[in-house]
Every structure is written in C-alpha cells, then in structure tokens.
Structure 1
Amino acid sequence: MRQSVFESEAVSVFKMPGHREDVVFVSFESMIPTRRPDRRGFGEQFFHHRGFTAYHVMPRANEWYHYPEMEAALAAVRADIPAGTRVITYGMSMGAYAAYRFSEPLAADAVIAFSPQYSVDRWRVWWERRWSSEGKSLLWDRQLPRKEAVKYVFYDPLNQDRRHIRRLRKEAELDLVRIYFSGHASIAYVQECGMLESAVLDIAEGCFDIAAFEARLWQQRKTSATYQKMRRRKKTGIFRRLRYVVIEHLLDRRLGAAALQSTTTPPDT
C-alpha cells in the first residue's frame, strides 16, 4: 500500500493512505544505528491501524535531515495533502528536530516533538556530547517553526534536554509536556505507561489536556521500565539520592493532587 512521494539518494518519502480525510501525519525517523531498506517508517503501524493517512520521511543516514533536497521533498508532501486537512508533524529526538524545523514548509497545524534537540551545531550547543550529525551541513538549523502551529514538546526537565528546550523557547511559543524521570527516552516512558496512543489521538482531535495528562502519567510512572532505570541512576551518592527523593516527593504532592482533583471534579453541566 506504500506510495512513493519523493525519492533521492539522501532521503525518501512514502505515503500510507488511510480512510480518514480530516487529519494527516508527517513523521520523521529518529537516529538509528542501521537503516535496512525494508524498515518501517516512524509510527507507520500505529497510524495505519487507526486509519490515518501518514507520510513517512526516511533519511539515508543520521545527518539530521540537512539535505538540499529536503525543500523539494517537503513541497511534494505538502502538494499531495488536500486543502483544509489538519497536518501534524511527529518525531522523536532527531525526528523531533525535523518535525519542529519543517513545520513551516509543511504548513503544519500541530507538532508532536518528543525530546527535540535545538541544534547539533557544536558552536551553538557546545555542552552537548551525547550525539552529533554524521554530516557536515547545517542547512536548516536556523529555520523557525510555523508560528501558527501548536507545538507540543514532551521532555524531561531533570535531563540535559532541558537546555535544548530553553533555547527552543526563545524561538517560539511551546506547549510543554513534562515527563519527569524519563531521561531522553520520553516516548518510551509514555508508551510503557500505556498513554502514547491517547496523547497522539487527543492531539489529532484537538482536545489534548496537558495538565491532566501529566497528572495521569505521574500516577502510572511505576509501570514504566524507563522510570525504574532512571530512578536507579539517580540513587548514586548521598546528596544526589537525597535531592531526587525531595524532588519526587514534591512532584508527588503536586501531580498526585492534580490527578485526584481530575477524578473527583464533576463535569460541567
């Protein structure tokens, strides 16, 4: 069922048609060690099973989409989307960087970005040592996101990603969704808590409630293997352990109370 939309040596885009005509997703692949030709697009199975039309952008390497032909690739996607359709870009890490940066040429209505990076330019993020681009070009590093798009950014404020988010907030207004103790693996954390589907679908329907989501996620956190791993890491050293015990206690008071309120408040009549 895949339909080729754009093809070059550096990047390819395919479309998976769905029966829904009101919303389409454009997903961007994350950084991965190897890229098999028969691999699935980011979120391909998820969107296909739920009837959404989705466009999947697949790069040849971990070069953070800094290819000259990205302009033509995105134009081909935009031209294929019917007028009046709600467009949502979607990605994680390197893919989230692209979902954010390319929301303008796609005329996106919403962005779903899990742990997005501000830049991979060593001059701009000199403190970032976790990864880098396999390429040397930085063609789109300063491209601003679409002003009209609602930009949902999921991240861990207790992780180094917060430094990227600070810089992104200087560029655009963001709707921040805080995933405490997830580290960079924010999307895995949400999925392990069984809440990824509801988050994406609520954003698609325009009814996503950040405060309620954060509170529910906090109540489900102990079902996440990612949470358990991050908590173990933060228990090394007396002062480090004490610091995060206090942080978790304060979060439990705030988010636990918010969750209780959301379940006891009667609906408006």
Structure 2
Amino acid sequence: MDKQIIFEDDHIRVIFLKGSSSELVISFGDLITRAKGLSINAEKSLVKYDYNVLGIMPKLKSWFPEASMQNMMQQVAPILADFSRIVGYGGSMGGYAAIKYSGLLKMNRVIAFVPQYTIDPQEVEDRRYAEFFDVNIHRDMQIQTQDVSEQAEYIIVYDPYYHEDREHYRKIKKILPQLMTLHLPFTGHEALSVLASSSLLNDFIRHPLEQRYFYQQMRSVKKNSKFYYRTVINNLMSRHSAALGRILRSNDLHLDDQYLDANLKQLITRVMLNRRQVTEQDLQKLGIKVNLSQATNNHLQDHYTNQVVFNLISHKIECYPQEAVLRNNKYLIAVEAKMSGLVKIEINGERYLVVMNDRRVTKLFKEHETLTPDMSPIVIKKYPDYYVLSYKNLNLSSDEHGLCSFVEGSVNDEAKFHAVQ
C-alpha cells in the first residue's frame, strides 16, 4: 500500500494514500480519529474500493486552523491537479472542515455528518466545544460564503431533534448553494457511528444525488445496526417512550444479554413496566433473561405511595405504582415486610436473599446459599410506624419517580417505608 505523509505541522498531519480510482477522496479526522501514525479516517472503507485518498488528520482538538490548511496547499495542490472529481468527507469536527475548506480544496461533493458551523462561543449557543476555542488560531473560523463552492454538491446528515447540532445545521444551510439534507432522527451526535458502512460511504461518494435512494440505503444499514437501536432507545426514552413499543413490535431484534449496559437496561425496563404490560417476547428481543416468580401479598409503600419491589429485569430495588406492579407481577416482586431481618423475595416457590456489594451491584442468593466475600445482605428494620432498608451504614431512599439509592445520613421521609395490608 503506497501511503506517505506529505505535510505536517503542530495541528494537522496530511497523508496521501494512492489507489486506482478516478476520484480523490479527502477524508478528515475528528475528535476521536486524530492523527496516529499513518492512519486515515474511514481508511478500511475507502481501501475496499481502492480510492485515492488524502487523509487530513487533526493532531489536536483545534478544528483545522486556517493557517495550517493554507500552509499545506503547496504540497497538496499538485495532487488536486491530477483529479477532475474531488469528494470531501468527515463527521463533526471533520464535517466542519470538509465544508469550510471545500472551496480551497476544489471539491465537487462534500459529505458532512453532524458538522459544526463554528466553536466560537460568541457565534453559537452550543457550549460542547467552547473549551477548545482559541481566539489566536480561530478568529473568524465560522463557515462563510467565500469558503464554499457554487459548483459543489453538499450532503449533510444529522438528527433534526438534537438541539445542539440543529443550531449548527441551520446556520450552515443559509450559506450552502446546493444542499441535500438527510435526517437521522433520535441518534443525537452519533450519526457517523450509526451509519458506519463501506457500501453506504461508496454510494455517498459516487451515486447521483437522489434523496430517496440514499434514504433506502440508510434504512438498510440501520436495520442491521445494533448500535443504531441502542442509540435511538437511549435518546428516545426520556421524550418519546411510546416509540420503544413500536420499535419492539416492528423489528425482529435478537440482542445478546451484554448489548444493553446496566443503566440503559434499567431505564428501558422502568419505561416498559410503567407504561404497559411487558411480554416475554419483548424481553427476549432486548436480550434480557429473567427467572419468573410467584406473586406475594406482602408489600411496602414509599413516601409517594409507590410499591417497593425487586425488579427481576434490572436486578435492583425500585418503587412502582400499584397498577404497574399488578400488570407486571412476574417481574416486579414485592419485598416482604413482616419483621426486622434480611430482605427476601420469593421466586418459583424458592426464597432468595437480596444482597449487594460496595460497587452497588445487587444479586440474589438462595436463602441457604453461601454468600461470596464481597457481598452483604440488605437488612429491613421494623420501627413502630415505618420500615427502613439498609446496606451497612447506608439507608435506601426513594424519589418521586420511584428510583431508589442507598445514601448516608439520618432517616428522612424518603427513607421511610410503610406496610400496607
């Protein structure tokens, strides 16, 4: 593979990868894919189609300063002169650079995922990257009319519901002469990761501008992308929880049990259990395995009249409204509340201790099973008017949403639980 560094300064490294294509692809790195040896952003996908590639890789989080880009032109110009078709590609910081320097680099097409307009805090409300703004190297860094080309085609992919990126998109849109916008809803700033595909990138580079065709190809990539579903579910839950049901009903998912991290698994199951009855098919699609239980009549209520349960899906003590517990009593198991002792639940006629370690990992041990050294039982203490659940010197506290945590300090109302017959 013929690959060499043709320019380098404190901010960027420029690498030329020789291929057999008639096009030249200029691939810009981002905050994650910064300069490392001779690596180029999206190199695997571009090599697959044997593209000629100019990789412009950032060495710092400095948004491709104009001085560096101008300084590299002496080495880059002869390469540009060899090609009649030049395509720029990048995401986020790389997407910004692809648009910003499209005129300078004589691009015919630009593919930009979730690009910034600028990181100057005087120009945008977005503060995600304000710490990287340096007035000495970023003065007038915003994308301007003189930066872009009237002859070039511009493609921007972004999530229209993600406020921070939407602000940048609206400012960029006013400047670009020919823009095709492709929406990727509920993916936040992760569009490039969601649509990672060699064939799709090849389409973006070579296929005529046909929005319908691109959407068809994007749907095909999304359908086979586990990362897409994880990203969408994570972004949807707080705003559009009903959409999870539609995703589960309309897609034949087969996620493994390690696919969802513990926090996302808890968020999903809380939404599902609160909003509707959960089916075993739902859980299987999400890669969640549970041991089903038998119902028990004993239960506690928190300060907000939610019932205290052990959630067999998230493996945590939580509180839910009574109707949610009734709908999902196979998964939400009432915590027994008879007397002071150890917290126990019953599953399929067997009694289990609820135990935890100092990293707040909760597990179930059969009543007569030996505990591992790192685990300690959760204790229930009966007082004249209430119960307290404790782990060592910490007491369980429940908030108005039913989320429980063990905290230090005196027993307040949120740490007092009441028995209900």
Q: Confirm or deny a common fold (TM above 0.5).
A: yes
User: Alpha carbons of 1:219 and 1:227: their partners in 2 closer, same or farther (altered >3 Å)?
Assistant: same
In 1, distance between residues paired with 2:190 and 2:213?
21
Partner of 1:80: 79
**Match of 1:50, as an amino acid?**
Y
In 2, distance between residues paired with 1:215 and 1:98?
27
Deviations 1:13-54 (A, max 9, x none): 11010022x201111110128x56426111223222321110
Q: CA deviation at 1:88?
A: 0.4
User: Alpha carbons of 1:73 and 1:150: their partners in 2 closer, same or farther (altered >3 Å)?
Assistant: same
Moved more, 129-138 or 171-180: 129-138
User: Alpha carbons of 1:3 and 1:189: their partners in 2 closer, same or farther (altered >3 Å)?
Assistant: same
Partner of 1:259: none
Partner of 2:130: 132
- 2:200 and 2:217 in contact (8 A); partners too: no
Residue 169 (structure 1) aligned with residue 173 (structure 2): yes
Matches within 5 A, 1:246-261: none
**Match of 1:229, as an amino acid?**
R
Q: CA deviation at 1:211?
A: 1.4
**Match of 2:71, as an amino acid?**
A
In 2, distance between residues paired with 1:246 and 1:152?
32
In 1, distance between residues paired with 2:221 and 2:32?
28
TM-score in terms of structure 1 length = 0.78
- 2:63 and 2:97 in contact (8 A); partners too: yes
In 2, distance between residues paired with 1:15 and 1:39?
9
The structure whose residues are more often helix, as a share, is 1
The structure whose residues are more often strand, as a share, is 2
In 1, distance between residues paired with 2:131 and 2:77?
26
User: Which runs of no fewer than 5 residues in structure 1 stay unpaired?
Assistant: 249-269
**Match of 2:103, as an amino acid?**
E
Partner of 1:201: 202
- 1:61 and 1:134 in contact (8 A); partners too: no
User: Alpha carbons of 1:246 and 1:66: their partners in 2 closer, same or farther (altered >3 Å)?
Assistant: farther
Deviations 1:198-250 (A, max 9, x none): 3322233242432132245346534333332333334545x6435x57998xx
In 2, distance between residues paired with 1:145 and 1:67?
14
- 2:11 and 2:65 in contact (8 A); partners too: no
Residue 27 (structure 1) aligned with residue 27 (structure 2): yes
Deviations 1:73-92 (A, max 9, x none): 14532322234520001101
Partner of 2:318: none
Moved more, 68-77 or 111-120: 68-77
Aligned equivalent of 2:152, options 149, 154, 166: 149
In 2, distance between residues paired with 1:101 and 1:228?
32
- 1:29 and 1:58 in contact (8 A); partners too: yes
Residue 50 (structure 1) aligned with residue 28 (structure 2): no
**Match of 1:32, as an amino acid?**
I
In 2, distance between residues paired with 1:215 and 1:36?
33
In 2, distance between residues paired with 1:152 and 1:235?
25
- 2:80 and 2:105 in contact (8 A); partners too: no
Partner of 2:102: 103
SS at match of 2:232: helix
In 1, distance between residues paired with 2:46 and 2:216?
26
Greater relative contact order (Cα < 8 A, sep 6+): 1
Q: Cα RMSD between the aligned structures?
A: 2.7
In 1, distance between residues paired with 2:90 and 2:100?
11
Deviations 1:101-152 (A, max 9, x none): 00000110000111111111111112x1333352502243244322211001
TM-score in terms of structure 2 length = 0.52
Residue 158 (structure 1) aligned with residue 142 (structure 2): no
User: Alpha carbons of 1:75 and 1:115: their partners in 2 closer, same or farther (altered >3 Å)?
Assistant: farther
Moved more, 9-18 or 79-88: 79-88
SS at match of 1:18: coil
- 2:108 and 2:153 in contact (8 A); partners too: yes
